[in-house]
């Protein structure tokens, strides 16, 4: 079991590293690489430039393909205390998370975001959500999400895989579901 966890962990780092290398070509996030090596959780500034894929494409990535989505569903109970996850779900304490992947941070009309989230300029991707959930107050200091975070990498992968699966698949460019 420990080996399994370690392997997922390594994969995750590898995926992060790839993402960093891609974004490093176009941005000045040169500190991010050394931060990652030091084991630090990246903050929102590290996600200024990202490659955004469809939910289905993300689900084919190693970390999410092998993730335990049933476990993720159970972990998502924590989010349901404050967020609707279904289509046309109500606004609770937090904005609905249906369709969150590919959405600009802090952009859902009608939700009263904190100033830091309202003025954030990144897109919610699995990698950004992963960093937010690892340490919400560190990722975006001053945000109003009263949630301590999920420390375990494997748990975050499971939760994100579940959210990808139940989320808005109409963001699948080039499939029958696309508009």
* Interacting residues toward ligand HEC by CB under 6 A: 78-79, 81-83, 93-95, 97, 100, 105-106, 108, 113-114, 117, 124, 129, 133, 143-147
Based on CB atoms, which residue is closest to ligand HEC, 69 or 83? 83
List strand residue ranges (DSSP E) for 86-163, in order.
Answer: none
Q: How far is the CB of 25 from ligand HEC (least distance, A)?
A: 26
Q: How far is the CB of 3 from ligand HEC (least distance, A)?
A: 26
Based on CB atoms, which residue is closest to ligand HEC, 20 or 134? 134
Based on CB atoms, which residue is closest to ligand HEC, 152 or 175? 152
Token digits for 161?
Answer: 């895989």
Q: How far is the CB of 141 from ligand HEC (least distance, A)?
A: 10
> Phi-psi bin for 39: left (phi > 0), alpha (psi -120 to 50), beta?
left
CA–CA gap between residue 145 and residue 113 (Å, rounded): 10
Based on CB atoms, which residue is closest to ligand HEC, 42 or 106? 106
Cβ atoms of 122 and 48 within 8 Å: the answer is: yes
Q: How far is the CB of 149 from ligand HEC (least distance, A)?
A: 8
Residue 77 DSSP SS3: helix
Based on CB atoms, which residue is closest to ligand HEC, 42 or 94? 94
Burial class of residue 169, CB neighbours in 10 A (0-12, 13-18, 19+): middle
Q: How far is the CB of 104 from ligand HEC (least distance, A)?
A: 8
Cβ atoms of 149 and 136 within 8 Å: the answer is: yes
């Amino acid at each position: 079991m420990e080996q399994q966890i370690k392997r997922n962990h390594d994969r995750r780092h590898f995926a992060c590293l790839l993402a960093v290398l891609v974004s490093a070509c176009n941005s000045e996030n040169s500190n991010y690489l050394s931060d990652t090596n030091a084991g630090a959780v990246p903050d929102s500034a590290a996600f200024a430039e990202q490659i955004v894929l469809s939910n289905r494409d993300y689900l084919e990535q190693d970390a999410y393909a092998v993730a335990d989505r049933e476990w993720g569903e159970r972990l998502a109970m924590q989010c349901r205390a404050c967020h609707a996850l279904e289509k046309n779900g109500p606004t609770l304490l937090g904005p609905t998370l249906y369709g969150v992947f590919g959405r600009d941070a802090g952009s859902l009309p009608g939700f009263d975001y904190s100033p830091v989230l309202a003025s954030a300029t990144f897109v919610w991707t699995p990698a950004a959500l992963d960093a937010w959930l690892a340490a919400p107050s560190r990722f975006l200091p001053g945000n109003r999400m009263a949630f301590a975070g999920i420390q375990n990498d494997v748990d975050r992968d499971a939760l994100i895989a579940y959210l990808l699966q139940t989320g808005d698949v109409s963001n699948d460019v080039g499939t029958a579901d696309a508009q």
